[in-house]
């Protein structure tokens, strides 16, 4: 049986905008976060406290986090790859953070400049410091089915990383199909392997839509019992260290899917589509979301 509701984690302002070539004005980022919360999203990932040399688009992280007008009941997590990031995030008002590792050695080195083993050692002080401050830490696992450099990733490698992040104290493990090459069969094998070592209610699906399979992957994961999904308004995004990968599944597409299935998301689709149209116009292109384009054409 399907659940009555799911939780959506909106990652557009972070995963979406981190990959934009042109600098997006800070005021636009702030307005995007605020409008997404107004549309009913309860978790909006705001930015990344990463090195501006690595990801120039996120250089204004502190300004963005400080400027947003917060809405009651909405969480505004940010990415913090190390203690330096955590300290800067907390100073700017972060109440929830996320660390990010990978199930692929090569991707780990390209994305965060260290091996998987070294990354886990680096996460320990972040988790301890966050715990002391009462700050929940989400853990991302990238490349859970496929890596841009190594190709196919075994479900066991994804499950091993998910278990280790969970054992270190992450409250939720977000399983990233970074390249979007997963399909319902490979995603199901991966989710089942992860759910054998981490409780299903602590797992989230983070599926990029490069090959158009992300909605199908969410449906497959939902049927396996997953209840948390990451998505990006207008399908913005991609990872700067995953060449050729496009954005996350569009939030509009997930809301449309869930509406049809009778599963609550708390999101006002009409308001969301207007956010999608607005941010896409700011970026000078139509929304990648098929649902948004269809509704806007009516």
Residue 115 contacts ligand HMG per CB under 6 A: no
* DSSP 8-state class, residue 70: P
Query: Do the beta carbons of residue 230 and residue 9 sit within 8 Å?
Result: yes
Per residue in 42-77, is it b (16+ CB within 10 Å) or e — as a string?
A: bbbbbbbbbbeeebebbbbbbebbebbeeeeebbbb
Helix (H) or strand (E) run with residue 185 in it? helix 184-195
The single residue among 77, 101, 155, 176 that binds ligand HMG, judged by CB under 6 A, is: 176
Residue 96 contacts Mg ion per CB under 5 A: no
Q: In whole angstroms, how close is the CB of 162 to ligand HMG at the nearest point?
A: 13
Residues 207-246, mask of contacts with ligand HMG (x by CB under 6 A)? -x------------------------------xxx-----
The piece of 63-71, 109-117, 211-219, 254-262 that touches ligand HMG (CB under 6 A) is 109-117
Q: In whole angstroms, how close is the CB of 209 to ligand HMG at the nearest point?
A: 11
Residue ranges in 24-154 assigned as alpha helix (H): 26-38, 61-67, 83-91, 105-112, 116-132
For CA atoms 171, 172, 173, 179, give the dihedral sign: negative
The single residue among 50, 170, 214, 295 that binds ligand HMG, judged by CB under 6 A, is: 50
Torsion angle, alpha carbons of 55, 56, 59, 64, to 10:
-90
Which residue's entry shows tokens 């696992």? 141
Which residues make beta-bridge pairs with 173? 139, 203
The single residue among 142, 217, 265, 280 that binds ligand HMG, judged by CB under 6 A, is: 142
Q: Of 161 and 295, which CB lies nearer to ligand HMG in the complex structure?
A: 161
The single residue among 100, 166, 229, 256 that binds ligand HMG, judged by CB under 6 A, is: 100
The piece of 44-52, 220-228, 260-268, 286-294 that touches ligand HMG (CB under 6 A) is 44-52
The piece of 47-55, 164-172, 183-191, 280-288 that touches ligand HMG (CB under 6 A) is 47-55
- Measured between alpha carbons, how far is 92 from 62 in angstroms, rounded to an integer? 5
Please report, for the chain, how many H helices and E strands are present, in that order. 11, 10
Indicate if 239 belongs to the active site.
yes
Contact positions with Mg ion (CB under 5 A) in 10-49: 15
Q: Of 10 and 15, which CB lies nearer to Mg ion in the complex structure?
A: 15
Which residues make beta-bridge pairs with 137? 97
| Contacts with Mg ion, residue ranges (CB under 5 A) | 15
Which residues are the active-site residues?
239
| Contacts with ligand HMG, residue ranges (CB under 6 A) | 15, 18, 48-51, 54-55, 81-82, 84-85, 100, 111-113, 140, 142, 176, 178, 206, 208, 239-241
């Amino acid at each position: 049986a399907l659940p009555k509701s799911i939780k959506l984690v909106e990652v557009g302002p972070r995963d979406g905008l981190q990959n934009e070539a042109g600098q997006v004005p800070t005021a636009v980022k702030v307005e995007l976060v605020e409008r997404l919360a107004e549309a009913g999203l309860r978790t909006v990932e705001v930015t990344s406290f990463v090195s501006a040399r690595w990801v120039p688009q996120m250089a204004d992280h502190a300004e963005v986090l400080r400027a947003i007008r917060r809405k009651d009941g909405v969480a505004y997590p940010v990415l913090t790859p190390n203690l330096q990031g955590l300290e800067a995030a907390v100073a700017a008002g972060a109440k929830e953070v996320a660390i990010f590792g990978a199930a692929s050695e090569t991707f780990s080195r390209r994305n965060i400049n260290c091996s998987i083993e070294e990354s886990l050692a680096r996460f320990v002080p972040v988790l301890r410091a966050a715990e002391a401050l009462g700050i929940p830490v989400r853990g991302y696992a990238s490349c859970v089915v496929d890596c841009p450099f190594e190709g196919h990733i075994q479900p066991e490698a994804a499950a091993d990383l998910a278990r280790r992040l969970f054992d270190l104290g992450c409250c939720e493990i977000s399983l990233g199909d970074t390249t979007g090459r997963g399909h319902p069969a490979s995603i199901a094998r991966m989710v089942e392997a992860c759910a054998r070592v981490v409780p299903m209610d602590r797992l989230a699906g983070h599926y990029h839509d490069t090959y158009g399979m992300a909605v199908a992957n969410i449906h497959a994961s939902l049927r396996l019992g997953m209840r948390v999904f990451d998505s990006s308004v207008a399908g913005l995004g991609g990872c700067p260290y995953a060449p050729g990968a496009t954005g996350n599944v569009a939030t509009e597409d997930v809301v449309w899917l869930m509406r049809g299935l009778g599963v609550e998301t708390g999101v006002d689709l009409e308001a969301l589509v207007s956010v999608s149209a607005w941010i896409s116009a700011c970026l000078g292109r139509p929304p990648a979301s098929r649902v948004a384009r269809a509704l806007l054409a009516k």
